[in-house]
Structure formats: structure tokens, C-alpha cells
Chain A
Amino acid sequence: MSVTHYLVLAAILFTIGAVGVLVRRNAIVVFMCIELMLNSVNLTLVTFARATGTIDGQIMAFFVMVVAAAEVVVGLAIIMSIYRTRRSASVDDANLLKY
């Protein structure tokens, strides 16, 4: 297995995540797709760390994990607050602000 395989896999995962954000309607699922994008970046970083022989990529992957965890805390709090009010986590129902 060359590093290219890992990079292509990461790119595919990133694309699945990005498409998911655009087409899925449930805020939680959209959020999971964003997490998928972040994790595909982690895979890319670790692969490049191996390919370039530097350790920066591995360290960055840890930073990304911590940031993603912080993002989960904030994101779920926001989604919970809107769900409690509306009894729905669909992004289509949040439609008061437009034009």
C-alpha cells in the first residue's frame, strides 16, 4: 500500500462529508458529516507526516481532535437548545430568517 491510497481514501471521505452537509436535513447528521470531514483531514495529516518524514502532521492531528471535541460541545448545545423549542432538529424547519 503506498501513501497515495490513504490520501485518496481521505479525499473520498472528505467528499462524502461535504456532500452530506449539503444534502442531509437533520442538524445532527449534518454535524456528523462535518466531523467526518475533520477526521478525513486527520488521516491526510498523518499520511503526509509519514510521507514527508516530519512529525508535525501527527501533532496537528491531536490538535484537530481537541478542536473537534470542543466543537462538539458547542454544537450540540446549540442544536439541543433549538430542538427543545421546536421539537425538531431539521434544518429545513429553521426558516424564520430569510431574504
Chain B
Amino acid sequence: MTIEAPDLSLAALAPLLFVFGAACIGVLVEAFGPRDSRHPVQVAVALVGTLGGLVTTVLLAGTREVTAGGALAVDGAGLFLQATIAGLGALSLLLFAERNLDPARSAFVVSAAVPAGSVRDRELLTVQRVQTEVYPLATFAIGGMMLFVTANDLLVMFVALEVLSLPLYLISGLARRRRLLSQEAAVKYFLLGSFASAFFLYGVALVYGATGTVRLAGVREAVAGAEGGTLVVLGLALLVVGLLFKASVAPFHTWTPDVYQGAPTPVTAFMAACTKVAAFGAILRLLYVAFGTEEWTWRPLVYGVAIVSMVIGAVLGLTQTDLKRMLAYSSVAHAGFLLTGVLGLPATGDAAGSGLPAVMFYLLAYGLTTLGAFAVLTLVRSGEGEATHLSQWAGLAQRSPLTAAVMSLFLLALAGIPLTSGFTGKFAVFRAAIEDGAWPLALVALLASAVAAFFYLRVIVLMYFSEPAVDGPTVGVPGLPTTIVLAVTAAATLLLGIVPGAVLGLADRAAIFVG
């Protein structure tokens, strides 16, 4: 018996190799590098890896290739989403690297093994030592996400899902302040996340049993030949539940507010932006490539969850008093808006519908905006921690007009006001839904947008038209990393709203799945 070497196109894998390579080097630096110089080296390694991944995806533009023995599909949509994840990931890493805002010079705990609140913990709280394990962990998560959106095989998809999730569970428990909340967030995220992974995996097993293969193309052929029946439908449902959990779509969203609130804010920014892109990338590929012919099986399911997600996100967002929680419910609502676009016509082969490019553009726009919004949250501080309670933001415009203006821009974009990226994205996904005859869904989406706009605008009103409290929060002066993040995300939010043509065109041309 001979074993054939699988065809492996190293060029097409370059983005992944870059990011995973940087993550492995990061682990070695952590083990052998001298402690004093570790922080700058780790930041540099992680940034070179993610930016290298971004550049190589851009260079690969136009590649349509199935490689690694059919396990990976490097295609237009995959590369677009990989570039989005790499870019947003690099920006999140810059937020991780910020050293000017916290008096102890880092948002991450020095030693996660020391019990919170113990004598040793209080000693370490003011020590200006920096934790650098987060950089390789975050780089591994970014690599897993980039693998996730190009996986052409259910098994690779599962492995990528775990590679992106496991580091996230850990880094969400590493906050320097309010460690109990952070640890609780990590436990909840971990238990619910692995519960959802188990469902996804059972779905993989059932689809494999029904079709005899885990390749997405093989599944499509088997399903089109009407093999499997009940097993396929059951497997599909379980797979989708696992993915919807990661995308924090209601009713699988219960972890989202807790984890977003408890995790360190840079990590929350990273999760809100990148995980969403990765999860929706996988949902799109699974539904369009493997189950494109089974459209009438998953359509009602996606239709229903989209409505539930928009309504729950918008209505519960109204009742929140914590800004991080409010943005978490906003993320649930946005997941519903994205699903509206997923229902646009499938884009297999040449018959491209408007749904796929619309969702791709929306993911990019939402990722940049939400990253910026969380970056602003790291600036406003009271005492030694962040001031995330709504009432603390009263009159912020008088204290720091620039911060209030930038936050208002992001909130307006999240609400979908014209001339911001949020409007362009929403317009694109709603149009895709209406073109496909799903106008009732678009109607619900519009109503939900209107409700959601209320809680975004409430923050703006609070910042501009309230008197600041005497003992209100201070606005920290950000260092270079956060300044870069704020400048890039604010500029992108405006540009994608005013002149979205180039990026929309790019998404349109890239919106092709192979496999």
C-alpha cells in the first residue's frame, strides 16, 4: 500500500502559515526570551504575523483553488474574509499592546494563577510587569479564524473552531481589574462554548453517516442525489446550531452579554469583531457550498432565528445600563441583520446573488465600527478601572469633546445612520433580502433598527446634553497603539459610508465559493 502525498499549494496557504508561524514563534519567545524585552518582541512578532497574513491574502487576490487534499478552499470569499480577520486582528492586538491607559501599564493580569483578591494578588496589582502570553494566544485564535473561513471539510472546520475558541476562553479570563467577573466570564464562555462544539461535532458525525463523506462538495453531491434524508436534516440543524452559537445569534446568545462584560475590553473588542466574521464565514460556506441544494430545509430555520435575534437584541439592548452589555446586545441584533443577508440568493458558481457580497461587506463594516467603539470604552476610566456604567458617561462631551465625537460616530454607524458604514451595510443586506422576496424579514429588520437606534442615540444624548457629575470619570490619554486603532476605525467608518463603491465592488467580485 502506498500513501500518496496530498497536493499542497504553499502559496495559497501562505496567509495561514504566516499567522500560525508567528504564533509558534510567540510561544518560543515566551519560553526562552528574557522577561524585560518580551513585551516589545511579542507585540512585534504578533503584528508581523497578522499583517503578513493580511498582505499575503491581498497578493493572493484572484486565486480560486482547492488545496491541501481538498481540505481547504482558497477562494474569493475566503480570502476577503481572511483579510478582514487579519486586519481586525492586527488592530485588536494594538489594543492589547496599549500601555498608557491603565496605571499598571497593562489591561492583563500579571499572574493568572494567583487567586483573585489574595495578598499576593493585591501586591501584583500595582506592579508594572506585563503579561505577554496573550499575544501568542490571540495570534493562534486569529489563525484558527482564518482557517475556519477557508475550511472545505467539516472535520477541518471543527478543528479550526476549537483552535479559535480555546485561546479565546483563556484570554477572556485574564483581566487585571475585576478579576472575579473576568474569571466568571471565562467559565461561562468555556462551558457553553464546548457544549455548542459538541452539538456541531454530532452534526458532523450525522452528516458523515448520511453521506459517507465530510468534504463540503461531496456532501453537496450526496444531498443533491437525495441520499440520507432525515439524518442529513438533523445533522444540518446541529451544525447550524453550533455555528449560530459562535456568531452569538439569539436564542443561542445567552453567553454574549456576560462574556462581553466580564472579559478585558481589548479582548471583548477582538471577540466582537473577529469571531463574528469567522463564524459568519463558516455559516455562509456551509449553507451555500454544502447545503446550497437543500435551501428549503435551512431557509425557514435561518428566517426564524434572524427575526428572534433582531428582536431580542434590540429590545433587551434598551434595558441595559452597562455600555459593554449594551454593545453585546447590539452585537446580537447585528447578527440578526447579517442573517437577513445570508437569506439572499446562494452564490454557487456564476449565478451570484446579492446576499453573499452584502454579508461580506457588512462584516467588514461592523467589525471596524464595533472595534472602534470598544476602543473608546478603554479610554474612559474612573478610579483605576474602566467606567462602563451608562450614568458615568453623562456630560462626557464637556470633559473631552473629541472622545464624545468619536464615540458618537461609532454609535451612529451601529445605528445605521446614512453617511456611515453601518448604513451602507444595512442597505446592502436588506436589499438582498427584498430581492429574494423576504420583504417581511426586511420589515422586521427595519423596525428592529429603529428600536436599536434609540439606545445608541440615548448614549449620545447623555454625553452631550447632561451635566457631568462632579466625581465623574476621567478620559485617559491613549498611547500610540490605541490612537492608531481609533484613527483607522473612525476613518474607515466614514469612508465606507461616504464612498463605499470600491469596497462594495471588491466584495462583489470576490463573492465566489469554490469547492
Residues of A bordering B, CB below 8 Å: 7, 14, 17-18, 21, 27, 30-31, 34, 37-38, 40-41, 44-45, 47-48, 51-52, 54, 56-57, 60, 63-64, 67, 70-71, 74-75, 77-79, 81-82, 84-86, 91, 94-99
Contact = CB atoms under 8 A, between A and B. Distances in A.
Interface of B: 112-113, 115-117, 155, 158-159, 162, 166, 169-170, 173, 179-181, 183-188, 190-191, 194-195, 197-198, 201-202, 204-206, 208-209, 212-214, 257-258, 261-262, 319
B183 A44 contact: no
Contact of A84 (B115, B170, B212): B115
A78 B195 contact: no
A97 B209 contact: no
Contacts of B117: 85
A92 to B, nearest CB: 12
A81 B214 contact: no
A78 B183 contact: yes
18 contacts: A21-B195, A27-B187, A47-B209, A48-B208, A48-B209, A52-B209, A60-B205, A60-B214, A74-B190, A77-B170, A78-B186, A78-B187, A85-B117, A85-B179, A94-B184, A94-B188, A96-B180, A97-B184
A61 B166 CA distance: 19
A88 to B, nearest CB: 11
Contacts of B204: 41, 60
A34 B116 CA distance: 27
The 3 A-B residue pairs with the shortest CB-CB distance in the complex, in nearest-first order: A48-B209, A37-B198, A97-B258
Contacts, number: 125
A82 B187 CA distance: 8
A82 to B, nearest CB: 5
Given A38-B198, A74-B166, A81-B173, A48 B214 contact: no
Nearest to B115: A84
B202 A71 contact: no
A78 B173 contact: yes
A7 B194 CA distance: 22
A64 B154 CA distance: 12
A85 B116 contact: yes
Given A44-B209, A94-B188, A70 B115 contact: no
Given A27-B187, A82-B184, A67 B195 contact: no
Contacts of B183: 78, 81-82, 85
A94 to B, nearest CB: 4
Contacts of A71: 162, 166, 194, 197
Task: Classify the interface of chain A: helix, strand, loop or mixed.
Answer: helix
Given A37-B202, A78-B186, A95-B184, 8 more contacts: A17-B198, A63-B158, A74-B166, A81-B115, A85-B115, A86-B180, A97-B184, A97-B262
B166 A30 contact: no
A51 to B, nearest CB: 7
A63 to B, nearest CB: 6
Given A78-B169, A94-B188, A64 B209 contact: no
Contact of B202 (A44, A52, A75): A44
Contacts of B194: 31, 34, 71, 75
A14 to B, nearest CB: 6
Contacts of A34: 191, 194-195, 198
A77 B167 CA distance: 12
B209 A74 contact: no
Q: Most chain-B CB neighbours within 10 Å: which of A30, A77, A94?
A: A94
Given A81-B113, A98-B258, A38 B201 contact: yes
Contacts of A74: 166, 169-170, 190
A7 B205 CA distance: 11
A97 B185 contact: yes
Given A71-B194, A94-B184, A63 B159 contact: yes
Q: Most chain-A CB neighbours within 10 Å: which of B169, B184, B201?
A: B201
B115 A27 contact: no
A32 to B, nearest CB: 11
A7 to B, nearest CB: 8
B245 to A, nearest CB: 13
Nearest to A48: B209
Contact of B213 (A37, A54, A75): A54
Contacts of A67: 158-159, 162
B180 A85 contact: yes
A40 B201 CA distance: 10
Nearest to B192: A21
